[in-house]
Each structure stands twice: as C-alpha cells, then as structure tokens.
Structure 1
Amino acid sequence: MTWLSTLAGAALVLFILRDVFHTLWHPTRHGGLSRTVMRSVWRLSALRATRWRSAGIAGPMGMMTVVAVWALTVAVGWGLVYWPRMPEDFSYATGLDPAEHAGPVDALYVSLVTLATLGLGDIAPTSGWLRTLAPMEALVGFVLLSATVAWILGVYPALARRRALALRLSHVRRSPSSVRAIDSDGGAALLDGLASALSTITVDFLQYAESYYFYDGDENTSLPGQLGYASDLANRAASARHPDVRLSAAVLRTALDDLATVLDERFLRTGGTPEHVFSAYADDHRRSRGPGGPPPADGSGRS
C-alpha cells in the first residue's frame, strides 16, 4: 500500500510537470490537460454567452482553472507520498497529537504548505529522504509560480498582436480599397504587411494555443470577424495588373491558408477549405461572416 501510494503520487506530479512543459516550453498536442481544461471552460462559456463571452472572461477563467488544477494535482500527488508515512516519519509541534493528525487531509495540508513555500513547521518530515523530498516540492511550487507568470507574459502579448492585426484589417476595410487603389506599389506593401502579421499570428496559435479561447468583444478588434475580408482582399488583389501586387496577393493567400490549417488541425477540425475554416472560426467566436465581413456603413469597401 505504501509503495502503491508513492507511485501514484509520483505519477501525478510527473504528469503535471509534463503538461506544464508541453504547454509553455515545448508546445505540442501532447500537453493535453491544459488544452482540455481551456476547451471545457470555452464550451461552458457558450452556454452562458451573455455573461462570460460578452465580458471576455472565458479565457482568463480558463487560465485560472488550469493553474488551479496544476497546483491541486501536484499537492495531491505529494500528499499521497506523505500520507502512508504519517505520523512515524514526521515531527509535530507541541499541542498536536500525532495520532489525530495522520490522515489524508493532514497529508494534503503538509503538501500544500510545502508547495506554497510557507514553511509553517507545525508538521515536518524527519526521515532522511523525506527531508530531501520536501524541498523538492517547494522547488516545484516555485516552478509552477514562474510558469504561471511566464504564461501570462506570453499569452497577453500574443492577444495584443492578434487584436492589432484585426484592427488593421478593419482600417483597410473601412477605407476606400478599390481594385485600382490596391493595384499599386502601396497596395503591394499593404498586402506584404498583412501577410507578415498573419504569419506572426499563426506562430502565436502554435506557441500559445490557449490564446484561441479568448473572446474579443469589439468587432473591429476581433480577428474571427475580419479574416473573411482578408481572404476577399487576397482574391481581389490576385487579378491586379501590377506584378508586385499579384506576388504579394499570392503570399497573403499562402499566409491565410497556413493560418486556416493551424486553426483547423488544432481547434476546429472541419476538414474544409480555408474560407470554410474561417467561417467556422467566426461561428465559434459568435461572429457573423459575409464575403469580406460586415460592409462599412458608408459603402467605401466596394470594389
């Protein structure tokens, strides 16, 4: 029983450390726990759309839930290591009856205190290898804290880049952007800039997949609401006379296709065309999509 509990506790701790590693430092589809929690919170927010998504708190709540699951699972794992060895391998402060403080709740308490690096000392390990193991748990607690800070510092700049691209597309959409205006050196430069920004956003979705589950309430800063226009712009520019514009349009189309591939493989799984993927992306974020997004009120987006 003792070694079974120890092995189970070690497996839980290693599972969480693996998930943290794949979520933050080596993003792949193998970091499944954080992705599953974020997806679950996102789906739950769809049931409470008027409160959670409109307020934009689905993403932050998902991150908070992931961190809580990480910390609680690690604490339970270490508690499973401590529990079979209580009270024999632990010292107790004066006034505490060891026989009354040797249950699973007490083991979890010791684990939480150690994980949080509080070091209260009312219950402390005395066995040699346990005295070495406890500081290791404190180090894991520090790693979780550092990982949480690194996660926040990574996700929110990625969200800022995504919203900046959406706003840039909104600016173009609301400006006179006829085929003649695009068919120029300036139009080629504009398309190149959009393609470069889309490449950055694609990398952000690969590096910080959790950023997908953040809702943007304003239409002008919502990428799901603007990608339809970007696709339409690439199609219109492909028929331009200027060779640089046609080249830039081809690069923009490739960037859009790459983004659609990442969105579909990692989140949507529609198996459809890029336009179909962008439509599904807009639907998942509660955004309507026409052939280029909602037209400007003054009609300046006519080709």
Structure 2
Amino acid sequence: MGIAMTIAGLVVIGLGLLDMFHSLLHPRGKGAISHAVISTIWTVSRRLGHRFGSAVGPVGMVAAVLVWVVLQGLGWALVFLPHIPQGFTYSPGIDPARYQDFAEALYISWTRPGTRTLQRPSTSPSSPWPPWGSAMWSPSTRGSGWPHHFRR
C-alpha cells in the first residue's frame, strides 16, 4: 500500500509539473489540465451571459495556477502518507493518534517539511527521506530554492 501511495503521489506531482511545462514553456502553450480549467470557467461565464466581463480571463489564469499548487500539495501528501506518523517525530505532549493521517500528510506537504518557518515545531522528519522529498518539493511549487537545512 505504501509503494502504491508513493507512486500515485509521484504521478500527481508529475502531471502537475508536465501541465505547468506545457502551459508556460512549450511553444503551443496548452497544458491539458489548465486548458480544461480555463475552458470550464469560460463555459460557465458564457452560460451566465458574460456577467463578469473581462475578469473571466484573469480568474481562469489564477484558477489554473491554484490547480497546479493543489496538485503539488496533494501529490506530496500522498508521498508522505505512508510515513505518517512513524516517519516523523512529535514534540512531547503531542499525540499523533489525535490527527488523521491524511490530514497530517496534507499539513506537512503544504508547510514544506524541510523548512521550519511555516511548520509547527511539534512535527519534524525522523528519517532522511522527508528532507530529501521536501528539497525536491520546495523548488517545484514555491520557487524558493532548497530548504535551509541543506545550506551550509
């Protein structure tokens, strides 16, 4: 089950990154996922009689970016999920059984486990792979570079 979750997470991450590439860097400029999101927003706008006017285009672009961010966060949550709670160390007084594993994995994926700026101090990786995973995750979704614990 853990390997399947990890593979599913990597597939979701890859699909999001591929769509970003096709939308932003490919000469055709048309990623399948972002195109579907923007087309859906245009279709809804058309059915409503274009009441929102020129705001529909920018809303579609922002929605496409949000979908990319959600895909990255969800993908990394699936990668982290098999390692919750045994792959993480919790501060004294924190009972990991109080939290649902998937909610914890989402929280960890959204707060970049390699950095301590957004992560609550009660949770930290206890094995070497989560920092490696966060090092890969961080530049792919935030553009902020490697987590600080990899810097000298």
SS of equivalent residue, structure 2 residue 15: helix
Match of 2:69 among 68, 71, 74: 71
Aligned-residue CA RMSD (Å): 2.0
Q: What does residue range 1-303 of structure 1 map to in structure 2 within 5 Å?
A: 1-28=1-28, 31-53=31-53, 56-114=54-112, 118-120=117-119, 121-143=121-143
SS of equivalent residue, structure 2 residue 89: strand
Runs of 5+ unmatched residues, structure 1: 146-303
1:130-176 C-alpha deviation (Å, 9 max, x unpaired): 22111221111223x8xxxxxxxxxxxxxxxxxxxxxxxxxxxxxxx
Distance 1:140 1:48, change over 3 A: same
1:23-79 C-alpha deviation (Å, 9 max, x unpaired): 1111337621111111110111112225212xx111111111111111111111100
Counterpart residue identity of residue 108, structure 1:
L
Distance (Å, rounded) in 2 between the aligned partners of 1:42 and 1:27: 23
Q: Which residue of 2 aligns with 1:189?
A: none
Distance (Å, rounded) in 1 between the aligned partners of 2:81 and 2:74: 10
Instruction: State the identity as a percent.
Output: 32
Shift of 1:125: 1.6
1:91-113 C-alpha deviation (Å, 9 max, x unpaired): 11333212223510111011111
Shift of 1:124: 2.1
SS of equivalent residue, structure 2 residue 124: strand
1:241-287 C-alpha deviation (Å, 9 max, x unpaired): xxxxxxxxxxxxxxxxxxxxxxxxxxxxxxxxxxxxxxxxxxxxxxx
Structure with higher RCO (Cα < 8 A, 6+ apart)? 2
SS of equivalent residue, structure 1 residue 114: coil
Deviates most, 106-115 or 10-19: 106-115
Q: Which residue of 2 aligns with 1:278?
A: none
Distance (Å, rounded) in 2 between the aligned partners of 1:27 and 1:92: 47
Distance (Å, rounded) in 2 between the aligned partners of 1:87 and 1:128: 15
SS of equivalent residue, structure 1 residue 139: helix
- What TM-score do you get using the length of structure 2 for normalisation? 0.83
- What TM-score do you get using the length of structure 1 for normalisation? 0.44
Q: Which residue of 1 aligns with 2:148?
A: none
Distance (Å, rounded) in 2 between the aligned partners of 1:44 and 1:30: 20
**1:19–1:32 contact (8 Å) kept in structure 2:** yes
Distance (Å, rounded) in 2 between the aligned partners of 1:30 and 1:58: 18
Runs of 5+ unmatched residues, structure 2: 145-152
Larger radius of gyration: 1
1:199-224 C-alpha deviation (Å, 9 max, x unpaired): xxxxxxxxxxxxxxxxxxxxxxxxxx
**1:38–1:63 contact (8 Å) kept in structure 2:** yes
